[in-house]
Structure 1
Amino acid sequence: MADLKQQVERLENDVLAFKAFLKDYSRCGEKLWTEERLELAFQMRHVVYEAEDIIDTFVTSLEAARHSKPKSYFSRAYGTPEKLRGIARDVETVGAEVRRIYAEMTSVDDHFTKFNLIGDGGPPESKVPLIMQQDNVVGFEDEAEKLIGYLLQETQELDVVSIIGMPGLGKTTLAGKIFRDPVIKDKFPVRIWVYISQEFKMKDVFLAILRQFIRIDEDMYCKSDQELAQLVASNLEREKFLIVMDDIWTGEDWYRLETALPKSTKRGKVLITSRQVEVAQYANRNRIPHHLRLLTQDESWLLLQYEVFKKSECPPELEFLGKLIAEQCCGLPLAIVVIGVVLTIKFRAWGHMSRNVHAWTIVSENISTYLNDDPDRFQKLLRMWIAEGFVQRKVDISLEELAENYLEELINRNLVRVDKRRSDGGVKTCRIHNMLRNFCKNEARSKKENFFQEVKMYDGEFEPSVTILENFRRLCIHSDVSKFLSSQPHGPRVHSFVCFSEENITLEGQDVATIPTAFKMLRVLEAESIKFARVPSNIYHLLHLRYLTLSLNVESLPEHFSKFWNLQTLIIYTTSQTLEIKANIWQMIHLNLLKTNAPATMPKIEQSSKASENLQTLDGISPQSCTKEMPFAWTSSIIQISTKTEEPDFIIHILDWCHISILGMLENLEVLKLKDNAFMGDCWEVGRTHFRRLEFLHIGHTNLVTWVALGHHFPELRCLELHNCDELREIPIGLADAPYFRALDLCHSKLAVASAKKIQKAKEKKKEDHNDEFNYGFKLSIFPPEE
């Protein structure tokens, strides 16, 4: 066993080096991707996957052995010592393959190793795109006017103006329109356009600028970047100039480029385009980045006509369909241009108009599905990232915080846009434009990546075929789920199986065991839309599971769920009115979130036992779980208590408001949601209870009449929501003294409106008081609005 452990550790080191190599290689641009190198990269990625599976199996084998008795479910799942010897053989085989391909990859082109692992430049040259012709520049007149106004303003030093927006929004088009504007031409005798991109070389950028002033000879190419930067700065200082730097990717890129710009000049302007907000913030901290808007419906239609007919005239027979198609492009210029090419091919001016109408109708029906935004639940997305291992652990920051940082980075790059934010400013839901979504899907399922496959039915057959699933790592299916599962799929390498189906799918009899049988290496199982008549007995063999969503026809969660020692996220939907948690979730060391759709009764914890320090969120627990047996040292930060049932006459034991003091003993509680009469009685007197770290409090559907509290009871409170609190007479005015309290949301809580307005006035008065260090604005929302 010791030898096997050393072999696995060596393999793990090889995999880390391999993955770093692949990451670097993918950044080097298309020039290095010859057919031979591409094939080696495919092989490399394949053996990395194989190695990861072997390492997972070995680690899980050891951990499962610690958590189970001899000849237990682990033995049935992973076999005998012969199985471990098999793992050893696999380690040796894959390890040898890893080192062989690595040696072959680096020997194919020694230039790659020197260039990418030692050097600091990009590929030898970059492709400079042509600025879009003026003929098809549609819309953005108001945007151009505003930005030209910025460029004409007199400043005391070099001024940088930024255009920020998602890919395909028209940043380069707008910059080109400004670049060619007669007023700009007259104002700036020297105008220079430089295309940056992700793979730029500083020397190429500096030489492009210098070409406007001097002749470039071989001696210039031999100069260092620093020498060229000084030459650029000295030439620019003497001129009234405008430089457009198109498509800057990172703040670090800007820092490298600005060394050549004379900061003290009053005569120069720089206009930059970027996907990243941080680039604009780095470039000019005194000016708010200009976020480019989407095209209006009229602008979209005008652009589509230009793209198809080269003029703003469309045959009357096609006008309705054309406007419908333009609307479906959601204001994204790139989408309109792409669809315009399709319509141009479909349009035949000399043919029968009925054929044109038919062709355009088909285009309209096809894009209606693919060019709409699709909101994603932010928390579910991040937890899947974590479960798949995409979020790498760092010191002093949780995986959840890291995942949020990743998402915020995508938002700042305008690849993802925020749909709704939480009261604390964090992301609640987000959207991705479907043009970008389709691009990502196509890349993910390409042979080069083999990252993700969407299972669809075409002409009675599944694509990809059920017979080749063993080659894939992640599967997603939206329809024909029953037929897919009945075809006995087999995916020994599948790590994620995600089902978002609108069908009502129920698995009974032997079909219940299909998914665990088919996909034994699952880390992520999202099966909310599949109802299991019972808990599959073989589901406990899925020891790699980190994320699990199940819909079950059960009244209790069995003790055996404790065997999922790897589980981080557990979401259970049940047809029962209540759910008894028999599994000892307090001892599931990696469990971070437990969510149920029915009031759940928590298991008791022995006083001598220590609860898991990772459990952060309990969503849907019943009031009777708030007892003295609750682990007070537990680090949970989010609790949602509910009594909601499908049957209005179904009785659930509800505790009096005095029992809420138990929750006040949870030292790390930050979010508390009390829903559906979570506590009983008409008076809540907080008394000696202090919710020391509570930032968000929601109270809904309660018969509470009197609430007595002061600001010091909620010293960290930031947001309070009162929904359907019809009988609550007033909100404690003392909450106005809570220093961070800045958002109050009332929905169908009419009697409390007057006190809410008093709190608002008190907070406004504090804001006017210059001695108040907590100078926050206060937002009061009331629904329905008062007449």
Structure 2
Amino acid sequence: MGNVFSVSISTNDIAGCCDCTTARANYICKLAENRVTLRTELQKLRELKNDVNRKVDVAERQQMKRMDQVQGWLSRVEAMETEVGQLIGDGAETIEEKRLRGCCHPKHCISSYTLGKKVARKLQDMATLMSEGRNFEVVADIVPPAPVEEIPGRPTVGLESTFDNVWRSLEEEHVAMIGLYGLGGVGKTTLLTQINNHFLKTSHNFDVVIWVVVSKTPNLGRVQNEIWEKVGFCNDKWKSKSRHEKAKDIWRALSKKRFVMSLDDMWEQMDLLEVGIPPPDQQNKSKLIFTTQSQDLCGLMGAHKMIQVKSLTWKDSWDLFQKYVGKDALNSDPEISELAEMVAKECYGLPLVIITIGRALASKVTPQD
């Protein structure tokens, strides 16, 4: 007797095979339709990308930083644009092949199936990108301030030894507060600027370096705002707080940090506690430097070290004066150089006065001028 084989095929198996065959057939049958949809969805994705980019541009102009997930999404969209552009080009080649070989040619069926499958998957990927892009409620975040921010300023002239003295004093444990005093225009602000910027060039153990201009008529509320911009989030809501509330916030923030506080142009005694500044000492290892025209104010503030910023020597004064007057003006007439020296001596070694007058004389080419 011959052998008899029995094969059992369930309805589910047949349905599964049919579904699989139908799906594969759809890759080919819907290729033309899906290519059109692909172009449309790509345009929508580009429009959404442009919308997100505009939001990012606005935020970055406000000194905010785009979020990593937004940057990642933008990069994926750019990659998608390239891949879809390639698929659209491949589709054009497949259509041309169909025209030349006929729609039933085996090679055309294989290429249409492969392309159709890629197009269908790209449509799914683009739908995912569209969903992600629409869900961005925030595209950028506030950038925390740098521990040290560079302050624009001109180089010091003739103050190198004073700079070294101040820097050595900052490294002394028992010196927590330094008062820099001297005549107006002698270079105290320039010196303090260079000290601030030097923290960018050297290693140190401070968490934050803060610069605040106090001025002759101090506004403690403004001083508090400038300090809080370095240690907190100084928005309109915070600015509307009372001075006492601000002081408590500043105190809490600075008490947790090792800081350097630079207060420029002080004219009267300031109560640090009223502002919220913890008095620097050997325990918290913080430092405070201030500039003033009054040596007495250094004592009233309790400075551990008072350093006088002196006028320039005649050599430094004359070199600085010549730099700003210029060789053309000095060499234009034999009497000019002699008159220039007389004028330079009347500046009393004050860099600000020398620079101001030197610039004013730069255009004078005759003694009468």
* Matches of 1:169 and 1:254, distance apart in 2: 26
Q: Is the 8 A contact 2:231 2:254 kept in 1?
A: no
Structure whose alpha-carbon radius of gyration is higher: 2
SS of equivalent to 1:200: coil
* Structure 2 residues not aligned, in runs of 5+: 1-149
* Matches of 2:251 and 2:325, distance apart in 1: 45
Matched, 1:229 2:247: yes
Following superposition, the deviation at residue 196 of structure 1 comes to 0.5
* Matches of 2:300 and 2:274, distance apart in 1: 12
What amino acid sits opposite 2:163 in the alignment? A
SS of equivalent to 2:183: coil
Following superposition, the deviation at residue 141 of structure 1 comes to 0.6
Counterparts in 2 of 1:237 and 1:255: CA distance versus 1, 3 Å: closer
Q: Is the 8 A contact 2:224 2:275 kept in 1?
A: no
Counterparts in 2 of 1:145 and 1:305: CA distance versus 1, 3 Å: same
Q: State the partner residue of 1:83.
A: none
Counterparts in 2 of 1:272 and 1:299: CA distance versus 1, 3 Å: same
Q: State the partner residue of 1:302.
A: 319
What amino acid sits opposite 1:168 in the alignment? G
Matched, 1:149 2:205: no
* Matches of 2:290 and 2:173, distance apart in 1: 18
Following superposition, the deviation at residue 314 of structure 1 comes to 6.4
Q: Is the 8 A contact 2:178 2:303 kept in 1?
A: no
What amino acid sits opposite 1:298 in the alignment? K
Alignment of 1:432-443 (within 5 A): none
Q: State the partner residue of 2:233.
A: 215
SS of equivalent to 1:290: strand
1:163-215 per-position Cα deviation (integer Å, ceiling 9, x unaligned): 11122222111111222225775324522110011222212111111111222
* Aligned mate of 1:175, from 192, 197, 204: 192
Q: State the partner residue of 1:335.
A: 353
What amino acid sits opposite 1:292 in the alignment? V
* Matches of 1:222 and 1:182, distance apart in 2: 32
Counterparts in 2 of 1:303 and 1:208: CA distance versus 1, 3 Å: same
SS of equivalent to 2:179: strand
Alignment of 1:503-518 (within 5 A): none
Q: State the partner residue of 1:345.
A: 363
Q: Is the 8 A contact 2:311 2:349 kept in 1?
A: yes
Alignment of 1:646-657 (within 5 A): none
Following superposition, the deviation at residue 249 of structure 1 comes to 1.1
What amino acid sits opposite 1:159 in the alignment? A
What amino acid sits opposite 2:154 in the alignment? Q
What amino acid sits opposite 1:162 in the alignment? G
Following superposition, the deviation at residue 263 of structure 1 comes to 3.9
What amino acid sits opposite 2:178 in the alignment? V
What amino acid sits opposite 1:304 in the alignment? F
Counterparts in 2 of 1:258 and 1:280: CA distance versus 1, 3 Å: farther
* Matches of 1:266 and 1:315, distance apart in 2: 57
What amino acid sits opposite 1:221 in the alignment? K
Q: Is the 8 A contact 1:237 1:262 kept in 2?
A: no
SS of equivalent to 2:210: strand
* Structure 1 residues not aligned, in runs of 5+: 1-129, 347-355, 364-787
Matched, 1:138 2:152: no
SS of equivalent to 2:262: strand
* Aligned mate of 1:261, from 268, 275, 278: 278
Counterparts in 2 of 1:257 and 1:315: CA distance versus 1, 3 Å: farther
Higher strand share: 1
Alignment of 1:544-563 (within 5 A): none
* Matches of 2:176 and 2:212, distance apart in 1: 17
Q: Is the 8 A contact 2:247 2:273 kept in 1?
A: no
RMSD: 3.1
Following superposition, the deviation at residue 315 of structure 1 comes to 4.7
* Matches of 1:184 and 1:243, distance apart in 2: 18
1:403-454 per-position Cα deviation (integer Å, ceiling 9, x unaligned): xxxxxxxxxxxxxxxxxxxxxxxxxxxxxxxxxxxxxxxxxxxxxxxxxxxx
Counterparts in 2 of 1:191 and 1:184: CA distance versus 1, 3 Å: farther
SS of equivalent to 1:211: helix
Q: Is the 8 A contact 1:250 1:278 kept in 2?
A: no
Alignment of 1:106-121 (within 5 A): none
Q: Is the 8 A contact 2:215 2:264 kept in 1?
A: yes
Q: Is the 8 A contact 2:178 2:288 kept in 1?
A: yes
Q: Is the 8 A contact 1:190 1:242 kept in 2?
A: yes
Following superposition, the deviation at residue 255 of structure 1 comes to 5.1
Counterparts in 2 of 1:183 and 1:144: CA distance versus 1, 3 Å: farther
* Matches of 2:285 and 2:350, distance apart in 1: 35
Higher relative contact order by CA 8 Å / sep ≥ 6: 1 or 2?
2
* Aligned mate of 1:163, from 164, 167, 180: 180
Alignment of 1:618-637 (within 5 A): none
Following superposition, the deviation at residue 336 of structure 1 comes to 0.8
- Identity over aligned pairs, percent: 25
